Chains A and B, each alone.
Chain A
Amino acid sequence: MQKCSTILVAGLLPLLCGVSTALAQQLNSFAVLGGSTVTNTGPAVVTGNLGVSPGSAVTGFPPGIVTGGSIHAADAVAAQAQSALTTLYNQLAGTTCNTDLTGQDLGGLTLIPGVYCFATSAQLTGTLTLNAQGNPNAVFLFKIGSTLTTASASSVSLINGASNCGVFWQIGSSATLGTNTVLAGSVVALTSITLNTGASVTGRVLARNGAVTLDTNSVTVCSGAAGLTPPTISKVFGAANIPPNGSTNLSFTATNPNAGPSLTGVAVADTLPAGLIVATPNGLTSSCGGGAITAAAGSSTVSLSGATLASSASCTFSINVTGTTLGAKNNVTGNVTANETGPGGTASATLTVQPAAPVTSGAPAMSLPMLAGFALLLMGLGSVLARKSQPRG
């Protein structure tokens, strides 16, 4: 969410990112979803679920094939997905524009993340380049008032970390992709979507009311939930300073920042810097229920894998580490990852291994009572000896 806000104008962000997170799970698995029919001609390949609702007609499979999913014709799953699609469509449609591209051809443009609007129709002839500027969570939204049409062999090129899961085409009526078009993103149309021969989509083809028509196409659902924010990771040492061969606690907290779905397969690896090792015993504690934690005593690697984080939940695991050499130990984790998102960030913390504070003398060479007693003893001895001494000449 936060990352999105850096790339989109304030106000639009919560909506756009929120849309994706809340609905992503229900739509996640659908590569193709139609409102009335889904019709195919030729050996189309749909990777992901294919569904239709409230209509029920799915034709052309085979020769078309559905892999990595199944066909849901007017069943509860399709109905639920269609319901989610309606919400998604409305929320996308309600998003405020950044840039009005009405009348411009998308071909030849290079765009950065944002919301681009067409009052009426939009045309893509040639190549549209989407530049995420290094942000894998970047979102590109195209709001098109009426139709989207692509010329033959048009394409969308994603650069600098852009993800096809982060591209949305909200279309007020229908979309028609020309032959051999290569499109990225989720095509969300109010009415119908037609893919001409050889066109391919990596994302989703989602029609609310009308038909989805395929002809020897490839539609592959994107691997992540569009716009879903990656998990975050933080870490902290139990103490800022330890003496040589001293130990302290090192705890990691992984968080799912998304209000909607859970994140699965949450993983992070941390290689301890030189001079810092996992303590013996490692003192491992964890609230990351399903996650597997590796932290062998004496080693310099710690890792979490396979954790599941519910909506807005966090989990913490901690170990003890031992500093073996003097100096500041700056420890940076690898990127935290999850199955549903792109890579998240890293976490860093610094521990200083420094000499112990000097042992200060709590008592002087001779404590005060001892000194007083000693003075009396010396006085007594002196006076006795003085009595025995000879008179001076």
Chain B
Amino acid sequence: MTKLRPFRFILIFTCCVLFAFGLLLTPPVQSVDVRFSRTLVKVAYCLVMIGGGHATRDAATLRAPGGFGVEMRDGCNAVNVTILLWSAVLAFPAPWKMKTLGLAAGSAIVQVLNMMRFISLFYLGQYSMTWFDFAHAYLWESLLALDTLVVFWLWAKRAMRPRASPDARI
């Protein structure tokens, strides 16, 4: 049974990924996806203003007074990364309570990081497009991937701890 667990993980993970990305391509979910992106831009706008910055918001675009703007398009809202994390958490052999915790905490961490990414790109683009391109294409991708892997690893390690219940000790 233990030997089968990796295969079971891969199978469930693959099924979850295919199902979730398939769902993401449907018009109703895409509509939700767009609204989600706009909400994230709203949050980013609020954070910039709270931080004493200056910006204007137009739909999914955050614009600086100088004219530079960053638009959050499909895929920029880190939903795809979240789907992968969710699929891994769901496929991993762990109690549902742990899975729920993993889904919630993992999603939050990924979104917080993506928000940092979005706002940093907003300021970086005003400073230098060269740095913007580098950070956009390489730096933040790597950080987001690393972050998700670490989140999953930490969660899985926690899920693998021997449970405190008498049954688990047997």
- Residues on A facing B (Cβ under 8 Å): 243-244, 354-367, 370-371, 374-375, 377-379, 381-393
* Bound: A242/B81 CA distance, A: 38
Q: A392-B93, A393-B167 are in contact. Are A366 and B13 (CB under 8 A)?
A: no
Minimum C-beta distance from A190 to chain B (A): 72
Binding site secondary structure of chain B? helix
Note all chain A residues with C-beta closer than 8 A to B162.
390
B92 within 8 A of A: yes
How large, as a class, is the contact surface on chain B?
A: 35 or more
* Bound: A356/B70 CA distance, A: 11
18 more CB-based (< 8 A) A-B contacts, given A382-B9, A389-B92: A355-B67, A358-B69, A359-B69, A361-B136, A362-B136, A364-B76, A366-B80, A367-B137, A371-B84, A374-B81, A375-B17, A382-B92, A382-B152, A385-B156, A385-B157, A389-B93, A389-B156, A393-B163
| Contact between A386 and B67, CB atoms less than 8 A apart | no
The A-contacting residues of B in range 109-168, CB under 8 angstroms, are 114, 117, 125, 129, 132, 136-137, 140-141, 144-145, 148-149, 152-153, 156-157, 159-160, 162-163, 165, 167-168
The A-contacting residues of B in range 18-59, CB under 8 angstroms, are none
Selected from A354, A364, A370, A384, the residue in CB contact (under 8 A) with B74 is: A364
Selected from B67, B149, B152, the residue in CB contact (under 8 A) with A244 is: B67
| Contact between A358 and B71, CB atoms less than 8 A apart | yes
- The total of Cβ contacts below 8 Å across the A-B interface reads 147
Chain B residue nearest to A358 (CB atoms) is B69
Selected from A358, A367, A381, A386, the residue in CB contact (under 8 A) with B5 is: A386
| Contact between B152 and A374, CB atoms less than 8 A apart | no
Note all chain A residues with C-beta closer than 8 A to B14.
379
| Contact between A387 and B68, CB atoms less than 8 A apart | no
Minimum C-beta distance from A231 to chain B (A): 39
Q: What 8 pairs across the A-B complex have the smallest Cβ distances? A: A364-B75, A358-B69, A355-B67, A383-B6, A356-B67, A386-B9, A393-B167, A385-B156
| Contact between A389 and B159, CB atoms less than 8 A apart | yes
| Contact between B13 and A379, CB atoms less than 8 A apart | yes
Chain B residue nearest to A374 (CB atoms) is B145
| Contact between B92 and A386, CB atoms less than 8 A apart | yes
Minimum C-beta distance from A164 to chain B (A): 56
Q: A382-B88, A390-B160 are in contact. Are A361 and B72 (CB under 8 A)?
A: yes
| Contact between A382 and B91, CB atoms less than 8 A apart | yes
Note all chain B residues with C-beta closer than 8 A to A392.
93, 95
| Contact between A365 and B9, CB atoms less than 8 A apart | no
22 of the cross-chain contacts (CB-CB < 8 Å) are A355-B69, A358-B71, A361-B72, A364-B74, A364-B76, A365-B76, A366-B78, A370-B145, A371-B84, A375-B17, A378-B85, A378-B87, A381-B153, A382-B9, A382-B88, A382-B156, A385-B92, A386-B8, A386-B92, A389-B159, A393-B165, A393-B167
| Contact between A359 and B92, CB atoms less than 8 A apart | no
Minimum C-beta distance from B25 to chain A (A): 14
* Bound: A358/B70 CA distance, A: 6
Note all chain A residues with C-beta closer than 8 A to B78.
365-366
Chain A residue nearest to B72 (CB atoms) is A361
Note all chain B residues with C-beta closer than 8 A to A358.
61, 63, 68-71
| Contact between B163 and A385, CB atoms less than 8 A apart | no
| Contact between A387 and B6, CB atoms less than 8 A apart | yes
